[in-house]
Every structure is written in C-alpha cells, then in structure tokens.
C-alpha cells in the first residue's frame, strides 16, 4: 500500500472524515466515565478537600497544552523542511485546540489557586511559563492569519513554533528548577505516583478523553483548512488565468 | 453509588466554575467548527451554481470576501 499518497490534502480529506467518529465517540464516552470516577468514586482529599477535583480537568488540559504545542512544532517543521502542505495544515489545525487547552489550564488553575493558595494568580515560574505558552499559540495563529500567501504563512509559523518549543521543558521542569508556588509533579514517568488509585484512574481516563477529543476536533478543523486552501488555490488559478 | 455533595465542601463555586468553563470552551470549539463547515459548504454550493452561469457574470469568491469580480 502506498501510504505516502495520503500526504496529499485531497487524498487525506475523505480519510480524515472517516476517522473522526472513531475518535469523537470514544472521547465522549471516556469523558463520561472519567467524570463519573472523578466525582463518584474518588474520595475527598484529606488536605485539599473537594477542591482537588478540579485537577481532573486541570492536569489533562495542562498536559494537552504542552503536548499539542510540541506536536504542532513537529508538523510545522516537517511542513517547512519537506515542503509538505498537509503537514503545515495539520500544524495550523492543532494551534487553536492547543491554545484552548492552555487557556483552560490557566483558568482552572486560577479556580484551584484561589481556595488553596488564597490567590487567583501569581507570577510564579510555572504559571508565567504557561501564560507564555498561550502567547506563543496566539502569536502562531495571528502570524498565520496576517500573511495572505498560505505557504509563506506556514514557513513563518514554523519558525515561531520551533523557536517556542524551548518553553515546553521550561514549563515542565519549572517546579523543580525554581521554588514555585505550584506543587510538584504528582505523576512521574518513573516511580510511584503520589495519589490514591481512583484519583489516578480518573485523571488518566480524562487525559485519554482529552487526547481523543483533540484528534477528532483537529481532524474536523484540518478538513475545513483543506477545503479553504485548495478551493482558494483553484479559484486563484482561475482568476490569474 | 454515593452522590457527591454538590457544595463540594464549600468549594462548589471553584469546582463547578472550572467544569463550567471547560464545558463552554469545548462547546464553543465544536460549534465554531460546525459554523465554519456550514459556511464552506454554502460557498461550494454557490461556486457550483456559479459555474452554470455565463463566464462574464461569474462570481469569484475569495477568502474572507465576497467581491463580485467578472473574469
């Protein structure tokens, strides 16, 4: 099978359409299961009371904000290096969802911070670097919107996206590098997580739901971008002819 | 199944506020894309209808504008 033929936007368009329900339906189910476990099964935290339940949306949102940024930069980079249109379109499709999750993590973080720390916002290393992440997304989206020629917009966006990747490890390690108000990592790649099993289960289910949701919504947006750009390309050719 | 206390032990505003914001964000994203898809479908339909008209009065729809240009 020639997989590379799907690198053409026109070929990938129907494939993306068929893929969407396979991600959207499980996403909806997992959101329901995750919220059920998070609110009905997981016990009240002995330190933070019920306020900790915000983390079931806050932590996945924060992770998605970071993951999607890296993914966006990789797609933008591939699109730039190999002149692959579909890859650049994918980067543009990811940006809005990544920005949405980053904003969600900042807002839910504020809702968490007020009762537990006594403040909505602090210029703490993790929060500040996450705010910068939101600005990077906004910058990427604005830059692409400001340039009329889509291929030039892709290249400019790619430079911004790739340079901005440096911010992601800063966010991740900020709680170790600096003495921050934000608490340290609860779940580590190596070693035991420091939370109760049902809490961890709910968190992981919500993370999976956010991933599936992201794939589905990004594919929907990608299809719109393919239509807009390919349509414009053919119409522009018509005008110039 | 034990129902959680809706007041969330006094943290209700913060917990429900967070989830309400999440819901609004997701619904906004889904609806705005649905709107964008509909607009594209309409544009495509108009373009197809256009192609049936004589070339001199064809409408060329460019991104973000609906300028009538004759080709």
Q: What is the pTM of this model?
A: 0.86
Whether residue B22 and residue A104 make contact (CB cut-off 8 A), yes or no, is: yes
Residues 6+ apart with CB under 8 A from B71: A238, A239, B55, B56, B58, B60
Q: How far is CA A20 from CA A26, A54, A141, A216, B24, in A?
A: 10, 28, 23, 5, 21
Is A6 within the bounds of a domain?
no
Q: What pLDDT was estimated at residue A88?
A: 96
Whether residue B62 and residue A232 make contact (CB cut-off 8 A), yes or no, is: yes
- Residue pair A58/A105 in contact (Cβ under 8 Å)? The answer is yes
Q: What pLDDT was estimated at residue A3?
A: 63
Whether residue B14 and residue A40 make contact (CB cut-off 8 A), yes or no, is: no
Q: Among all residues of chain A, which has the CA nearest to that of B32?
A: A221
Is B63 within the bounds of a domain?
no
How many Å is the Cα radius of gyration of chain B? 24
ipTM of the complex: 0.86
Would the pLDDT of B62 be above 50?
A: no
Would the pLDDT of B64 be above 50?
A: no
For the segment A109-121, the average pLDDT, to the nearest whole number, is: 92
DSSP chain B: --PPPTTGGGTHHHHHHHHHHHHHHHHHHHHHHHHHHHHHHHHHHHHHHHHTS-GGG----BTTB------
Annotate A49-87 with b (16+ C-beta within 10 A) or e (fewer): bbbbbbbbbbbbbbbbbbbbbbbbbbbbbbbbeeebbbb
Would the pLDDT of B65 be above 70?
A: no
Around Cβ A163, how many Cβ atoms within 10 Å? 11
Find, among A95, A213, A224, the residue nearest to B27 by Cα.
A213
Say whether residue A108 is in contact with chain B using an 8 A CB cutoff: yes
Chain A / chain B CB contacts < 8 angstroms: 89
Mutation for B interface: A21, A235, A240, most B CBs within 10 A: A235
The helix/strand/coil state of A47 is coil
Comparing A38 with A232, the larger pLDDT belongs to A38
Work out the angle at residue A117's Cα, subtended by the Cα atoms of residues A184 and A201, and round it to the nearest 5 degrees: 50
Is B40 within the bounds of a domain?
yes
pLDDT digits (tens, 9 = 90+) for A154-193: 999 999 999 999 999 999 988 888 877 787 777 665 666 6
pLDDT digits (tens, 9 = 90+) for B23-44: 999 999 999 999 999 998 888 8
Whether residue B30 and residue A217 make contact (CB cut-off 8 A), yes or no, is: yes
pLDDT digits (tens, 9 = 90+) for A52-85: 999 999 999 999 999 999 999 999 999 999 999 9
For the segment B54-64, the average pLDDT, to the nearest whole number, is: 51
Is B27 within the bounds of a domain?
yes
For the segment A104-111, the average pLDDT, to the nearest whole number, is: 96
Is B37 within the bounds of a domain?
yes
- Residue numbers of the domain that contains A35: 24-39+48-234
Find, among A226, A223, A225, A212, the residue nearest to A21 by Cα.
A212
| B26 neighbourhood in chain A, CB within 8 Å | 100, 213
Q: Among all residues of chain A, which has the CA nearest to that of B3?
A: A40
| A238 neighbourhood in chain B, CB within 8 Å | 60, 71
Annotate A192-231 with b (16+ C-beta within 10 A) or e (fewer): eeebeeebbbbbbbbbbbbbbbbbbbbbbbbbbbbbbbbb
Q: What pLDDT was estimated at residue B63?
A: 46
Q: What pLDDT was estimated at residue A183?
A: 77
Comparing B44 with A153, the larger pLDDT belongs to A153
Q: How many domains does chain A fold into? A: 1
Q: How many domains does chain B fold into? A: 1
Is B10 within the bounds of a domain?
no
The position carrying tokens 């994203």 is: B29
| B17 neighbourhood in chain A, CB within 8 Å | 111
Q: Among all residues of chain B, which has the CA nearest to that of A58?
A: B18
What is the percentage of chain A residues whose pLDDT exceeds 90? 70
The position carrying tokens 């839910």 is: A108
Is B44 within the bounds of a domain?
yes
Is A8 within the bounds of a domain?
no
Four-CA torsion A102, A103, A109, A112, nearest 10 degrees:
-140
Q: What pLDDT was estimated at residue A144?
A: 95
pLDDT band at B68 (very low <50, low <70, confident <90, very high): very low
pLDDT digits (tens, 9 = 90+) for A2-12: 667 777 888 89
Whether residue B18 and residue A111 make contact (CB cut-off 8 A), yes or no, is: yes
* Distance in angstroms (rounded) separating the CA atoms of residues A215 and A152: 26
Mean pLDDT of chain B: 77
Would the pLDDT of A49 be above 80?
A: yes
Is A230 within the bounds of a domain?
yes
Is A240 within the bounds of a domain?
no
Say whether residue A74 is in contact with chain B using an 8 A CB cutoff: no
| A111 neighbourhood in chain B, CB within 8 Å | 14-15, 17-18, 21
Q: What pLDDT was estimated at residue A192?
A: 65
């Amino acid at each position: 099978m020639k997989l590379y033929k799907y690198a053409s936007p026109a070929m990938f368009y129907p494939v993306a359409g068929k893929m969407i329900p396979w991600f959207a339906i499980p996403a909806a189910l997992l959101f329901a299961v995750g919220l059920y476990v998070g609110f009905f099964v997981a016990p009240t935290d002995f330190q933070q009371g019920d306020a900790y339940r915000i983390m079931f949306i806050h932590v996945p949102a924060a992770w998605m904000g970071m993951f999607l940024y890296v993914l966006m930069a990789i797609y933008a980079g591939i699109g730039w290096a190999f002149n692959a249109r579909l890859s650049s379109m994918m980067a543009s499709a990811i940006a809005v969802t990544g920005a949405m999750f980053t904003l969600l993590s900042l807002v839910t973080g504020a809702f968490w911070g007020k009762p537990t720390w006594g403040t909505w916002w602090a210029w703490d290393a993790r929060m500040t670097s996450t705010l910068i992440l939101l600005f990077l997304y906004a910058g990427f989206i604005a830059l692409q919107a400001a340039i009329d020629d889509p291929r030039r917009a892709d290249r400019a966006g790619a430079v911004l996206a790739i340079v901005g990747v440096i911010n992601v490890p800063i966010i991740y390690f900020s709680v170790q590098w600096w003495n921050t108000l934000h608490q340290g990592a609860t779940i580590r790649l190596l070693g035991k997580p420091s939370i109760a099993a049902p809490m961890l289960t709910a968190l992981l289910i919500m993370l999976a739901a956010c991933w599936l949701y992201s794939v589905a919504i990004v594919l929907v947006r990608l299809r719109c971008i393919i239509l807009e750009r390919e349509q414009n390309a053919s119409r522009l050719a018509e005008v110039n002819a | 199944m034990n129902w959680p206390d809706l007041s969330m032990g006094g943290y209700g505003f913060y917990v429900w506020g967070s989830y309400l914001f999440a819901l609004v964000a997701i619904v906004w994203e889904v609806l705005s894309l649905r709107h964008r898809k509909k607009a594209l479908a309409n544009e495509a339909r108009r373009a197809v209808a256009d192609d049936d008209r004589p070339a001199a009065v064809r409408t060329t729809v460019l991104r973000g504008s609906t300028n009538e240009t004759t080709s």
